[in-house]
A and B are shown apart, each in its own frame.
Chain A
Amino acid sequence: MSPSIVGRIRLPWNSLGLVAVLLVLILLFSSLSDYFFSAVTFRTLANQIPTLTVVAVGMTFVLLIAGIDLSVGSVMALCAAVMGVLMADSGWPLVPALLASLLTGLACGSFSGLVSARWAIPSFVVTLGMLEIARGGAYLVTGSETKYLGPAVGRIGEPIAGLGLSPALIGAIVVVALAQFILVKTVFGRYMIAIGTNEEAVRLSGINTVRWKVVVFAIAGVLAALGGVFQLGYLQSADPNAGIGLELSAIAAVVIGGTSLSGGRGSVVNTFLGVLIIAVMQTGLAQLGVSEPGKRIITGLVIIGAVLFDQYREPLGKLLTRRYEPKRGIS
């Protein structure tokens, strides 16, 4: 790995840790259940993963700048609802409806970002408000009913013949790659890391922090909308109750991936691995017949375990690479 300006790159061995966890889980479930390593499992995973992936990517950016977005689940539902209503009731074709849905996400995200950045209100509070607003909007748009769309949107979630992958899954992977590229290579990525580390220092370097923070929330909004589109394709309907609690799953995936909740440090690829770990665990546990309460308890333990592991990764890593002793705030 070539050195990067961001600091000593933690990625290689740190992603390897997550990959190892993932492999262990797969091996574990394969040995415990005869069905795990099968096409059915793969299809279930392929359906679950895209939505959580794109939403978690947006969340990674938000957490990187030391913010949080609690509204992604509701925004996703609202955007899917907009698309569903436009197609089912107004007879719009797929593409314009999809664009309208993404624009809705953009508007929601930009609004949250602008209010919190411009007036320095914690994003926790603003997005908590947006969580309510968007959920209300979703009910309003759909008249509190699930909109059935049928096969018109089905092809978003269906595997493309010959490729075996659905457009949703491909889209999600493209988003991951693009976002990681932005984070590591571009000025915007560097600004996110810098803002998450010391926002005032960045502002006093003459960088317009308000603008970049709005952009981050806008991206999170668009990605929530995209998640909604993917879910629409998979369910073939728009449910105003969709995505309740999604923000917590997304935060869980990001945290398992090692992104710091206090900002300034994180990786999109690792978030994706976090998503895979959560998805594999859920599917595997379900196949083993673990009850819903049991699944939740185990998932909770894994989240806490992952964060603990992250705490002690530094000293572990020191054995493997040349590394500096963390300084304790003193020069």
Chain B
Amino acid sequence: MTAGEPPLLAIDALHKQFAVPVLRGIDFTLRAGEIHALMGSNGAGKSTLCNLIAGIHRPDSGNMRLSGQPYQPASLHSAEASGVRMVMQELNLFPTLSIAENLCFNRLGNRAGVINHQALRDSARAALARLNLDELDPDTPVSALGVGKQQLVEIARVLAQPVRLLILDEPTAALTDPQIDQLFGQLDILRSAGIGIIYISHRMSEIQRVADRVSILRDGALIATENADEMDVERMVHLMAGPAMARIPPKTPTTIAATAASNGSATKPGHVVLKIEQLGRQGAFTDINLELRAGEVLGIGGLIGSGRTELLRTLFGADTADTGGIRLAADDFSRLQQLRNPAEAIAAGIGLVVEDRKGQGLLLDKSIALNIGLGQLGTLHNRLGIVNDKAIADNSAEICRQLDIKHDDLQQPVAQLSGGNQQKVLIGRWLLRDLQILLFDEPGRGVDARSKLLIQELIRDLAAQGKAVIVVSSETEELLALADRVVVLSNGRLAGEFTADTVSEQALLEASFRFYTTAGQKVAPPLEIS
């Protein structure tokens, strides 16, 4: 940038208040050709700031300049007209439309409004190719994709059009390493082309890999902007947490070996509570054999679309299996059965924290209390069926405290919480139920570093109480920190089991790719290890 040239985006004393002040006098600059990371704990105001830049909300006061010109986007649309585009934290695709229609939604037809399907498919393929997603068929409806793939389509959609300023709000929360590498490759290209990028993530390692500068938000105030190479993890954590850090001392993530040693669960596992036998579901996974023991955390790794989510959903009875089944300790494993619906699973003591919190988890425009208490309604009532609101409110308040859910009051609609806090509400719903087997699908999605530790601790606690836990995670660090034992799914098949002695990031990654290379099967993105 030559001296005197105005920055791509200059923000001056920006204020925004909802029920309470959320942004309090933000000054911020984004240069052309830089990746500027925005960090802060859940509810710090990152998404809100980006929503103002992208025209989704309007600031109460303060002003913005884009390349020196006054910039007051009246809507998402007018921001896009100025070349400002954003990948939002939550998925915003049309589930019933095809990938191609989603990718080209605002330029579907010609001037007469007629759609040329071939042209649509071609431009969709081009957009997908940039993210190395050639294996996706543009005609597939988006609803057929898992959360991770939907996230990639969302990114592809935004990258498919000309952009000057790109905002990515936690784009990698649902992605696995190979896709993240691919995304970063694209970001590098955009950066060299002089595009300014605002990048939000809770994963420190990513920040250090891609960011040129880092800004830290805390409670609606921008408290530091520094060059990324001058900022180490410890300093970031310190700045983000501020005085609140004293409340909960940050624990460094433990390795499998360390957890195993500290609670001894690897050396003396409990009795078997669940046997999975030859479980298979068409198009998702085949021939899964596993045993789950009381007191252990079983991690499941693998790439996006490898069948992990489907496996959990089948165990929970949300989908049905085609082959095999499960045996439960309750009837001495005498019966090979398939659960037909979630209600049956709960009766059998199995619960699932879903991955897609917006679509399948939360009642977005209902209160925090109802969302947390939903699973408990069946028990917290008197003989006439009258809900014990007091007990539910108390429980919800306790969950909010335990999980550090930032909120104004319990009657506030969940939609008004920040993404990470919404995730914690969803987890909270399941912590309240006394179930023997808990399945977590990406529990740390969108959650800040400190809360991630809190959740990991809670999951370890559950295991320590003798419960059996399965955790699916795309974050290798999380698997290593949490699990006693890790299995990897690759293209719907078990591709290895690792314990403290045998596990490593490299080994997990290799196993993830194992069954994609066989002839005749769809091939995953090429292995890229940096």
Q: How far is the CA of A206 from the CA of B317 in the complex (A)?
A: 10
Q: Are A198 and B362 in contact (CB under 8 A)?
A: yes
Q: Are B385 and A186 in contact (CB under 8 A)?
A: yes
Q: How far is the CA of A8 from the CA of B51 in the complex (A)?
A: 25
Asked whether A208 and B341 contact (CB < 8 A) given A8-B411, A200-B360, A325-B18, the answer is: yes
Q: Are B366 and A186 in contact (CB under 8 A)?
A: no
- A residues near B370, Cβ cutoff 8 Å: 5-7, 190, 193-194
B373 interface residue (CB < 8 Å to A): yes
- B residues near A6, Cβ cutoff 8 Å: 366-367, 370
Considering the complex, give the chain B residue whose CB is closest to the CB of A198.
Answer: B363
A interface residues, tally (CB under 8 Å):
34
- How far in angstroms is the closest Cβ of chain A from B57? 8
Q: Are A7 and B387 in contact (CB under 8 A)?
A: no
Complex interface residues of chain A between 171 and 212 (CB less than 8 A to chain B) = 185-188, 190-191, 193-194, 197-198, 200-208
Q: Are B19 and A322 in contact (CB under 8 A)?
A: yes
Q: Are B366 and A197 in contact (CB under 8 A)?
A: yes
The contact string, 1 if C-beta is below 8 Å from chain B, for chain A 86-108, is: 00000000000000000000000
Q: Are B345 and A206 in contact (CB under 8 A)?
A: yes
Asked whether A190 and B377 contact (CB < 8 A) given A5-B387, A5-B389, the answer is: yes
- How far in angstroms is the closest Cβ of chain A from B46? 10
- How far in angstroms is the closest Cβ of chain B from A311? 15
The contact string, 1 if C-beta is below 8 Å from chain B, for chain A 1-16, is: 0011111100000000
B463 interface residue (CB < 8 Å to A): no
Q: Are A204 and B361 in contact (CB under 8 A)?
A: yes
Asked whether A204 and B363 contact (CB < 8 A) given A185-B387, A190-B377, A325-B18, the answer is: no
Q: How far is the CA of A327 from the CA of B90 in the complex (A)?
A: 12
Partner of A204, one of B56, B88, B352: B352
Q: Are A204 and B342 in contact (CB under 8 A)?
A: yes
- B residues near A190, Cβ cutoff 8 Å: 370, 377, 387
Considering the complex, give the chain B residue whose CB is closest to the CB of A203.
Answer: B342
Q: How far is the CA of A128 from the CA of B238 in the complex (A)?
A: 63
Q: Are B363 and A330 in contact (CB under 8 A)?
A: no
- A residues near B361, Cβ cutoff 8 Å: 201, 204
B197 interface residue (CB < 8 Å to A): no
Q: How far is the CA of A242 from the CA of B341 in the complex (A)?
A: 42
A264 interface residue (CB < 8 Å to B): yes
Q: Are B411 and A7 in contact (CB under 8 A)?
A: yes
- How far in angstroms is the closest Cβ of chain A from B375? 5
- How far in angstroms is the closest Cβ of chain A from B173? 11
- A residues near B67, Cβ cutoff 8 Å: none
Considering the complex, give the chain B residue whose CB is closest to the CB of A195.
Answer: B363
- How far in angstroms is the closest Cβ of chain A from B96? 14
Partner of B342, one of A4, A205, A325: A205
Partner of A331, one of B89, B412, B429: B89
- How far in angstroms is the closest Cβ of chain B from A321? 12
List 9 tightest A-B contacts by C-beta distance, closest first. Answer: A206-B346, A331-B419, A186-B385, A197-B363, A327-B415, A208-B343, A7-B367, A206-B342, A5-B369
Question: What are 18 A-B residue pairs whose CB atoms fall within 8 Å in the complex?
Answer: A5-B369, A5-B392, A6-B370, A187-B381, A188-B385, A190-B377, A190-B387, A201-B374, A203-B342, A206-B351, A207-B377, A322-B19, A324-B416, A327-B413, A330-B47, A330-B89, A330-B90, A331-B89
- Known pairs A198-B359, A207-B343. 8 more at Cβ < 8 A? A5-B367, A7-B365, A193-B366, A197-B365, A205-B429, A324-B18, A330-B89, A331-B90
Q: Which residues of B contact A (CB under 8 A)?
A: 18-19, 47, 51, 56-57, 88-90, 92, 316, 318, 341-343, 345-346, 351-352, 354, 359-367, 369-370, 373-375, 377-378, 381, 384-387, 389, 392-393, 411-413, 415-419, 422, 429
